[in-house]
Structure 1
Amino acid sequence: MTENATAPRPVIVAGVDGSPTSREALRWAAEEARLRTATLRVVCGWEWSSPFNLIGPALEYAAPDADTPSMEELTRAKVEELLTGTLGEEPGVPVEVRVVQGPATRVLVDASEGATLIVVGTRGHSGIKGAVLGSVSRHVTQHARCNVVVVRDSRDLAAGE
């Protein structure tokens, strides 16, 4: 059997929100993408009403003018910064970044469509210390349309939690 040279690469999705646990998930997903010769798709959902966005606590945001970046542009810049800060300038795999307005639960479940694997952290910015799974990771494990890996924060592992 010969491999079709035009077959699309598998896709591994990494859900990020800027939290330490999402950085761990991003590292894990990038290594898995490298091992599987897959594309790494980095996905971040953002909402106006969220008390925490990737850029930190919700900000008062004035009506944009021509010189003011949109929330989507600000979030995309933060995701790019997170990506470079976590994986370096050359991550070693093809990378796509998707910044989507909407609740993280919906955005990540939608991103799982057609993916080989989705990788999320146990808890994001709003996670409660000591919780086994956060609400987003729990929702993704229950509703994703592909296999899911939930990555624990290495600091929790070192502390024996």
Structure 2
Amino acid sequence: MRADLDIEGGVVVGIDGSDASLHALFLASEEAGRRDCLLHVVRAWTLRTAPRPPEVPPSTVPSVAEFHDWIVLRTRALVEETLPAPEDRARVRLHLPRSQAVGALLTAAETAELLVVGHRGRGSRLMLGSVAAICVRRAGCPVLVTRPHHRRAAGRRATAGG
């Protein structure tokens, strides 16, 4: 499924709430700052992959609007937690397409300067997740795949207060 995204240039990062994706967000923000460009945060979701809104009773099925509203709130919160400096958040643009992640990221990569993804997503036990692997093979721009548990990355976060 092709996502309809309004992205022209800048750094694109895919997030899903996993530690790997939040580390990718942090590094993508640094790169957007170095390039002095926009940071496009893409959180693709489907009814199957969207987190369940907490205010919806367990015995009911949330509506698409309820899922979307919760995705918006959670994504904004994740960006604010990961990028606490207002100047970092000022260049952020959120894109929350109802789409498969790989389709949304490849669409975004068609016009981006750089695509940043975590090495694997939520629940994956692989060294390189399927979304990252497909992006590396098929993206129309350079791809940076990050690993949050790498010793040098952990050292940078510790000195940065993270």
Q: Which runs of 5+ in 2 are unaligned?
A: 1-7, 152-162
2:42 maps to a residue whose letter is: V
| Residue 147 of structure 2 is aligned to residue 148 of structure 1 | no
Helix, strand or coil at the partner of 2:86: coil
Distance in 1 (CA, whole Å) between partners of 2:59 and 2:85 is: 32
Distance in 1 (CA, whole Å) between partners of 2:15 and 2:51 is: 8
| Residue 41 of structure 2 is aligned to residue 42 of structure 1 | yes
Distance in 2 (CA, whole Å) between partners of 1:55 and 1:120 is: 24
2:110 maps to a residue whose letter is: E
8 A contact 2:51–2:67 mirrored in 1: no
CA displacement at 1:127 relative to structure 2: 1.2
TM-score (norm 1): 0.78
TM-score (norm 2): 0.77
CA displacement at 1:60 relative to structure 2: 7.0
Which of the pair has more CA radius of gyration? 1
Greater fraction helix: 2
* Residues 29-54 of structure 1: CA deviation (Å, up to 9, x unaligned): 0000000101000001101123xx35
Distance in 2 (CA, whole Å) between partners of 1:39 and 1:79 is: 17
Distance in 2 (CA, whole Å) between partners of 1:137 and 1:60 is: 35
Runs of 4+ that moved beyond 4 A: none
Mapping of residues 1-161 of structure 1, within 5 Å: 10-50=9-49, 53=50, 62=61, 64=63, 69-92=65-88, 93-128=90-125, 131-154=126-149, 157-158=150-151
CA displacement at 1:89 relative to structure 2: 5.0
Distance in 1 (CA, whole Å) between partners of 2:137 and 2:36 is: 27
When residues 61 and 80 of structure 1 are mapped into structure 2, their CA distance, relative to the original with a 3 A threshold, is farther
CA displacement at 1:70 relative to structure 2: 2.2
Distance in 2 (CA, whole Å) between partners of 1:83 and 1:32 is: 15
Greater fraction strand: 1
CA displacement at 1:107 relative to structure 2: 0.9
Distance in 2 (CA, whole Å) between partners of 1:115 and 1:147 is: 9
